[in-house]
Amino acid sequence: MRAVIQRVTKASCTVDNQITGQIQKGLMILLGVEEADTTEDLKWLGQKFINLRIFEDEQGMMNKSIQDVDGNILLISQFTLFAQTKKGNRPSFIRAAKPDKAKPMYEEMALLLSQLLQKEVQLGI
């Protein structure tokens, strides 16, 4: 798995002029699934998302987790995180998981994060 994590004051995902997910303060996570990824990888990364101390405390130090600040999560599926661009001008996505594997793992990550955060995770698809 590969992820880009962004602290946000607000974020939304729009598909075909319809908002599919939106949050206020929290994390926007772009998640790419690779063919070799396992459920163990998913659980480890989910715990990492929840426990990362990347929010400021009262002294301005990055010392608080998403739970500490009562934040929200917007999870967006992003196969392009596995783009290979070293050769030629056309990116290759050969390492990205096919939809029949990626979608269930994405949904499992959303469920895991909801359980760990104890609130609904917004989805970006």
Query: Does 82 participate in catalysis according to the annotation?
Result: no
Please provide residue 74's backbone torsions phi and psi, each rounded to the nearest 5 degrees.
Answer: -110, 115
Distance CA 23, CA 103 (A): 22
**Active site includes 9?**
no
Task: Extract the tokens encoding 25.
Answer: 């303060």
Instruction: Identify whether 85 is a catalytic site residue.
Output: no
Contact indicator for 25, 64 with CB cutoff of 8 Å: no
Rounded Cα distance between 2 and 104, Å, is 16
Identify the active-site residue in 49, 78, 82, 122. Answer: 78
- One digit per residue, the tens of pLDDT, for the chain of length 125 reads 999 999 999 999 999 999 999 999 999 999 999 999 999 999 999 999 999 999 999 999 999 999 999 999 999 999 989 888 888 888 889 889 999 999 999 999 999 999 999 999 999 97
The structural domains of the chain, ordered by start, are 2-123 (3.50.80.10)
Rg from Cα positions in the chain? 15
| Total-model pTM | 0.91
Which of 55, 79, 82, 122 is an active site residue? 79
Q: Which of 6, 38, 39, 80 is catalytic?
A: 80
Position 103 scores a pLDDT of 95
